[in-house]
């Protein structure tokens, strides 16, 4: 079984809304929403990978913060180890590459959105009711 380590960011704005992104239809998990991030490259720390991925995929500069948790999800003989962190938006203009839409959502609204399976655990963690 192939294993992939992936990092993702929970970025919260001044209105206490969380950034989520919808994957383009023609790529893996197309049409599903997720917390932005991506795969670790050899020799990278989680923080380095997350900040690089957010710059590459969204053209934004961020600072990785507190570790939220991890969850392993298996699909199609691939084991995805997802590590999630709070991150702070520093600067940049959002430009999308692997996604066709982004939005800021209240934590309570996240449960109504079609998230990728790997992210659902963290959607539940962020619920306050």
**Domain 2-126, CATH:** 3.90.79.10
pLDDT digits (tens, 9 = 90+) for 16-66: 999 999 999 888 888 999 999 999 999 999 999 999 999 999 999 999 999
Give the domain ranges of the chain.
2-126
Nearest to 86 by CA among 26, 30, 126: 126
Name, in order, each residue with C-beta under 8 angstroms of 129's C-beta and a sequence gap of 6 or more: 108
Residue-wise pLDDT for 29-41, tens only, equals 889 999 999 999 9
- The pLDDT value recorded for residue 127 is 82
């Amino acid at each position: 079984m192939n294993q992939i380590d992936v990092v993702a960011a929970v970025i919260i704005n001044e209105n206490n809304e969380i950034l989520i992104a919808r994957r383009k239809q023609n790529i893996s998990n197309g049409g599903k929403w997720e917390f932005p991030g991506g795969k670790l490259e050899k020799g990278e720390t989680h923080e380095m990978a997350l900040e690089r991925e957010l710059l590459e995929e969204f053209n934004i500069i961020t600072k990785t913060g507190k570790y939220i948790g991890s969850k392993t999800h298996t699909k199609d003989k691939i084991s995805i180890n997802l590590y999630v962190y709070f991150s702070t938006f520093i600067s940049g203009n959002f430009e999308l590459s692997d996604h066709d839409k982004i939005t800021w959502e209240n934590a309570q609204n996240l449960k109504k959105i079609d998230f990728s399976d790997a992210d659902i655990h963290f959607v539940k963690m962020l619920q306050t009711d």
